[in-house]
Amino acid sequence: MEVTLAVTSPEQMQDLGRRLARVLAPGDLVMLTGELGAGKTTLTRGLGEGLGVRGAVTSPTFVIARVHPSLTGGPALVHVDAYRLGGGLDEMEDLDLDVSLPESVVVVEWGDGKVEELADDRLRVLIDRAKGDTDDERREVTLVGIGARWAGLRADLA
């Protein structure tokens, strides 16, 4: 499954996160890819709002991982910034994400090549500045579902 969406503002990026949160469940792994300032944390902020978690969702760059417990009885949001982790899964294992994954929604920024082994089913979210567009806020967001879990995602986002 692959879906590409146009996002024209930070507010729309956050709204996309809220819509994605409706289809997320405990055990889901979401991998975010995009250059600095692309909107990865903004999307995650929307996910947090949609999941009803406690605490402001901010970039976990300096703490590597931040856990946001649910206020509604749903899954916690584990937000990881793997940018500074160069050792792949070995360093990620030190964070005990495999323990958190079954009960939480785990969102990993910069996780390509580092966390794929955590789950056979995962959602990759690629955020790119729209090519040839002079509007600095416009993004193309491509959702790539890997595994049977994500086969019907397009209908879920309508």
Report if residue 96 sits inside a domain: yes
Structure tokens at 36: 């600095």
Domain membership of residue 157 (yes or no) is no
DSSP per-residue letters across 106-130: EEEET-TTTSGGG-SSEEEEEEEEP
Taking the C-alpha atoms of residue 97 and residue 65, their distance in angstroms, rounded to an integer, is 9
Judge whether 105 lies within some domain. yes
CATH code assigned at 82: 3.40.50.300
pLDDT of residue 119: 86
Residue 7, strand partner residues? 139
- Residue written as tokens 């969702």? 57
Residue 153 included in any domain: no
Per-residue pLDDT of the chain (158 residues; tens, 9 = 90+): 889 999 999 999 999 999 999 999 999 999 999 999 999 999 999 999 999 999 889 887 777 788 899 999 999 999 988 877 665 555 555 555 655 668 899 999 988 887 888 789 999 999 998 776 666 889 999 999 999 998 877 756 65
Rounded CA-CA distance 122/124 in Å is: 7
Place of tokens 């990026």: 13
Q: Would you say residue 99 lies in a domain?
A: yes
Could you tell me if residue 20 is inside a domain? no
Q: Tell me how many domains the chain contains.
A: 1
Q: Is residue 114 in some structural domain?
A: yes
pTM of the model: 0.87
The pLDDT of residue 12 is 97
Tokens of 17: 């996160």
Is 8 inside any structural domain?
no
- The parent domain of residue 37 ranges over 25-141
